[in-house]
Amino acid sequence: MNIAVETQAIDRKQDFPGLVTDHGKPWHYLDTAATSQKPQAVIDTVARVLGRDYATVHRGVYSRSAQMTLGYEAARRRVAEFVGGAEDELVFTRGATEAINLVAQSWGAANLRAGDRILLSQLEHHSNIVPWQLLAARTGALIDVCPITGDGRIDLDAAEKMLTRDHKLVSFAHVSNVLGSTLDARRAADLAHAVGAKLLLDGCQSVPRMAVNVAALECDFYVFSSHKLYGPTGVGALWARGELLESMPPWEGGGAMIEKVTFTGSTYAPPPQRFEAGTPAIAEAIGFAAAVDYVEAIGMEEIAAHEYALVAHLREGLRPMNDIRLFGPEDSAGIVSFLIDGVHPHDLGTILDEENVAIRAGHHCAQPLMDHLGIPATARASFGLYSDESDVEALLRGIERTRRIFG
């Protein structure tokens, strides 16, 4: 994909109060893949819900509780529509990590047996590895690992050769949090379904960066988080096909997920409430929907083009430096990982911080990928809709200073 560097910028820095230092200087925040800054519109929504509008949901007969319940369920509908799903197919969770664990401990525990197989990839986040390891230890299922291509994409040709009728689940990142590489998700779905397996997609990095439609992707499960989509922390979502949710047993017990409780037994609410035990993250869910409103007002296609252009700008600036190693494909989605010869990423991150530039340095919760690459860590710059060329130039200046310091 060739995206012109001169793609028109999205000028929204003024909407994000966190992009200024304590001294009133610009803060060049390039760690959006870890968590995004929040626009004032989302901050105001959460403050209003926690203040003048606040009440519990699903329980009260008084008017404010009823209004809050309507607002909470409207948020569910809004977030579901954002990814092309229906409201009764979307479960609010504490984040994508909990959503994957929910699928593993509910659908997985009910459907996997000893000898069944799960296919993951070399580039997965720990949150898309460890829950399946826990499930495998519990059930006797086996885990296979699909390799990646030379430019850092999940190798679907290899996946096709690996998949058998013993595979019950394929679980892949839609966009790598380290390499920014984008999966051909529709082909992955076709390959999984051809052997009777289900497909789960980790959408943490894709949902903030591109338009997503779960119906078009034909996946079975899709997970994503609010805090990477310019919304609050502590809330995320699992979208799943309605018939799968209907078949899944609850994985946590308590209030809100029941129909009737006696000491001789209990019956459970239909999905999605069946999977939302206890008082939910009310303000956070409504803030999640406010973040959806915010990005859709800009346009996901515009955000994608903007971030591709910034990636191209940064890679062009780094390429002439012969002591820098770049990872991932040229058309990575908003993420650039790299190394400077002789400079540990943590040292680079510390020096950049002195220049008011914030990047991530480390293994990015992807240690198996680091092992595959033969390195302990990378430096990672990741863009958001508020990023612009001034952030790229500040990073390049900081890198040049670091190179001088280290000779």
What is the CATH classification number for the domain harbouring 186? Answer: 3.40.640.10
Query: Do residue 240 and residue 319 come from a single domain?
Result: no
**Residue-level pLDDT at 9:** 66
- 173 Rama sector, left if φ>0, alpha if ψ -120 to 50, beta otherwise: beta
Sign of CA dihedral 278, 283, 289, 295: negative
Same-domain pairing of 122 and 192? yes
Low-confidence ranges of the chain (pLDDT < 70): 1-9
Domain end position, chosen among 263, 296, 329: 296
Residues 341, 222, single domain; the answer is no
Q: Judge whether 365 counts as a catalytic residue.
A: yes
Residue 286 CA: distances (Å) to CA of 53, 76, 100, 233, 260? 12, 8, 22, 12, 28
Our count of domains for the chain comes to 2
Q: Residues 286, 362: one domain? A: no
- Do both 194 and 334 map to the same domain? no
pLDDT of residue 177: 98
| Same domain assignment for residues 260 and 138 | yes
Q: How far apart are CA 321 and CA 380, in angstroms?
A: 17
| Residue 147 resides in a domain | yes
* Six-digit token string for 407: 């000779």
207 & 307 share domain: no
Q: In terms of residue numbers, what domain contains 314?
A: 13-30+299-405
pLDDT score, position 2: 37
Does residue 21 share a domain with residue 95? no
**Structure confidence at residue 4 (pLDDT):** 39
Are 195 and 315 part of one and the same domain? no
- E strand or H helix at 362: strand 360-362
Q: CATH number, domain at 365?
A: 3.90.1150.10
Please identify, among 273, 296, 319, the residue that sits at the C-terminal boundary of a domain.
296
Please indicate, yes or no, whether residues 100 and 145 belong to a single structural domain of this protein. yes
Instruction: Choose the final residue of a domain: 238, 265, 296.
Output: 296
Dihedral angle at the C-alpha atoms of 113, 116, 122, 128, nearest 10 degrees?
-30
From CA 109, how far away is CA 112, in angstroms rounded?
6
Give domain status of residue 148, yes or no.
yes
Based on the domain organization, do 248 and 281 belong to the same domain? yes
Residue 282 lies in a domain: yes
Residue 206 · residue 222 · CB < 8 Å: no
